[in-house]
Structure 1
Amino acid sequence: MDTITLDQFKDRFHSEDICADYLFQMKWPHGFVCPKCSHRHFYRITTRRLPLYECAQCSHQTSLTVGTVMEGSPTSLQKWFTAIFLASRPSPGINAVQLKEIIQVTYKTSWLILQKIRRAMSTSDATHLLSGMVQVHDACYGHPYNITHQTHSKEHFLLVGTSLNEQKQPTYIKMKLLLESPREKFISTPQKKSFAERYIEAEDSEVEYITQRLKPRRLKIGYPYFKKASQWLNETFHGIGVRHLQAYLDEFCYRVNQALDQAPLFQSLIQLCATTKKADYWQVTRRKRKNKRSSRGQVANSFYPL
């Protein structure tokens, strides 16, 4: 399905009933399970826009979209499926303006849909640690920097971690934005330690740090992916501010990792969206007041949260 056109996709999912049946399979791949008592038999109630499933044992009713990123959304499943399909395409991706025109919704709705999909991708990434041979290097997104000057306010520093196989080919990649940019463009030891604690399997991992900017880029195995990510952000979205940058980096890494794993992108993403709990407005927009930052000597909040 990853190679079909948008028109072919719309022909495949041409009704709400077809989308509902497919979402049911993604949410309950081994058959219905009551979220209250785990009973497996149900009655299907079709008096609403989307069907309700009533447990045959405890009579608990659950909606198809409860416990998914689509929960509470008035947008049709067909439009959600189209958004997920476009977000799953490896290139060039989709922005909110383009999606707004395709599925005929407001800009705010299209933006929120894409942000909720990205949050599902970030949630998936949080469950997967780098392991085995791991290479970590620094990178900078944003304003072109000059190594002879201090950090620019529009330079956003991050660490790129890559799991490697025995042939030193990448098998999984992470890009994590630093919460505070280094003053002298140098990634500190506490920040490296924080990255390792959060994103690298502690046992049986061999970690190589390349964090000096004067090192040849050819030694940084993850750098070509970061370069592609930067080009994608600039060409598709015309640049991203720091507030939402981590979500977009997670989106890029998700597609790369699915491709490295040779996983079917659309099926993997819609199953992920079907099993990821919804995020509220404040979580999606990141306008909620942040917790106080820890002191410079601590590493608990070195990287941006989801």
Structure 2
Amino acid sequence: MDQLSLDQFQDRFHSEEVCADYLFQMKWPNGFVCPKCSHRHFYRITTRRLPLYECAECHHQASLTVDTIMEGSRTTLQKWFTAIFLSSRPAPGINAVQLKEIIQVTYKTSWLILHKIRRAMSTSDASHLLSGMVQVHDACYGHPYNIYHQTHPKEHFLLVGTSLNEQKQPTYIKMKLLMESPREKFIPTAEKKSFAERYIEAENSEVEYITQRLKPRRLKMGYPYFKRASQWINDTFHGIGVRHLQAYLDEFCYRINQALEQAPIFQGLIQLCATTKKANYWKITGRRRKNKKSNLMQCVTQN
């Protein structure tokens, strides 16, 4: 599936019914299980755009898209599948402007679809800890590095963690922004401890920290991947602000890690999207939902 061209992919998933059948297999790989009573037999109801699955025991009706990133979306499954397929492809990837033209939706819809897919990728990364031989080093995205000790506002510091095999080849990569930007160009000990506690398996892990910026980059096994991530973000998205930078780093790492594991990226990603709960626009953007009643009262008061 990963080797198909876009035209070949769209020929393969040429209808909503084909997409629905494939999504069913990804959501329930071992066969239908009622989310309410765990019964395994069902009746298929086809009176809606997407089928419902009614439990033969308790008669609960399960939706195909509930508890997936597609829940509540009016966008067709064919368009969702195309977006997931394009997100699973290696660099240069896809941005919201390009996706908008391909699947014929608004920019806001294409932007939101891609961020929901990235959220599923981040969910996958959160469930996997670095282990064994682990190397952690510093990196900086944004403003070009300079010799001054003080940091630049557009410099975003992060730690790159890499699991290594016996040949010291990377087997899994994580790139995580620091919770707080340092005032000077070194990583505080507290940040290293926080990274280790959150992302490295406590038992049976041997951790090496390389956080001095002037050490040879060839000693930093994850550094080439970080440079590729920076180049990809700049070329495809023309730079990213700090608010969503972590999501784009997670997307890059997801594809790299799937490739390192030699796993089928599209199949793994669509299964991930089928088992990750939705996030609405307000949660993804980090903005507060506007309260219509309070806004109305404010207008009345002002007038």
Q: What is the alpha-carbon distance in structure 1 between the residues aligned to residue 268 and residue 18 of structure 2?
A: 18
- Residue 278 of structure 1 corresponds to 278
| 2:131 and 2:205 in contact (8 A); partners too | yes
Q: Quick one: distance in 2 between partners of 1:181 and 1:162?
A: 22
Other-structure match for 1:150: 150
SS at match of 2:140: strand
Once the two structures are TM-superposed, the CA of residue 163 in structure 1 deviates from its matched residue by 0.2
Measured on the aligned residues, the alpha-carbon RMSD in Å equals 0.9
CA distance in structure 2 between the partners assigned to 1:133 and 1:41 by the alignment: 46
Aligned to 2:139: 139
TM-superposed deviation, 1:285: 1.2
SS state at 2:139 partner: strand
- Aligned counterparts of 1:283 and 1:257: Cα–Cα separation in 2: 26
Aligned to 2:252: 252
Q: Are 1:54 and 2:57 counterparts?
A: no
Q: What is the deviation of 1:237?
A: 0.1
Letter in 2 for 1:57: E
* 1:174-212: CA deviation from partner (whole Å, max 9, x where unpaired): 000012111111101110000000000000000000000
**1: CA distance, partners of 2:110 / 2:229:** 22
Question: Is this contact kept in 1: 2:149–2:185, CA < 8 A?
Answer: no
Encode CA deviations 1:74-130: one digit per residue, 9 max, x unaligned.
000000000000000012100000000000000000000000000000000000000
Aligned to 1:202: 202
Paired with 2:139 and 2:214, the residues of 1 have a C-alpha distance of: 12
Identify the residue that residue 238 of structure 1 maps to in structure 2.
238
Partner-residue secondary structure (3-state), 1:204: strand
Distance 1:150 1:157 in 2: 13
Rounded to whole Å, the distance in 1 between the matches of 2:15 and 2:23 is 12
| Match in the other structure for 1:173 | 173
Q: Is the 8 A contact 2:122 2:250 kept in 1?
A: yes
Aligned to 2:38: 38
Structure 2 unmatched runs, 5+: 290-303
Alpha-carbon offset, residue 5 of structure 1? 0.3
Structure number, greater radius of gyration? 2
User: Helix, strand or coil: the match of 1:254?
Assistant: helix
Shift of 1:288: 4.5
Q: Residue 143 of structure 1: CA displacement?
A: 0.7
1:130 partner letter? L
Q: Deviation at 1:283? A: 1.7
Deviation at 1:147, TM superposition (A): 2.9
Identical amino acids, percent of aligned pairs? 87
**Equivalent position of 1:19 in the other structure:** 19
Deviation per residue, 1:190-249 (Å, 9 max, x gap): 100000000000000000000000100000000000000000000000000000000000
In structure 2, what is the Cα distance between the partners aligned to 1:286 and 1:248?
A: 16
- Unaligned runs of at least 5 residues, structure 1: 290-306
Q: Deviations over 1:270-303 (max 9, x none)?
A: 00000101112222112259xxxxxxxxxxxxxx
Are 1:163 and 2:166 counterparts? Answer: no
What is the distance in 2 between the residues matched to 1:14 and 1:202? 47
Aligned AA for 1:259?
A
> How many aligned residue pairs are there?
289
Structure 2 partner of 1:191: 191
Matched residue SS, 2:208: strand
* Paired letter, 2:192: K
Separation (CA, whole Å) in 2 of partners of 1:24 and 1:49: 15
Alpha-carbon distance in structure 1 between the residues aligned to 2:55 and 2:267? 27
Measured in 2, the distance between the counterparts of 1:261 and 1:49 equals: 37
- What's the TM-score, normalizing by structure 1? 0.93
Aligned to 2:88: 88
Amino acid at match of 1:26: M
How many Å separate the matches in 1 of 2:34 and 2:181? 47
Contact 2:100–2:107, Cα closer than 8 Å, also in 1: yes
Matched AA of 1:188: P
1:126 is aligned to 126
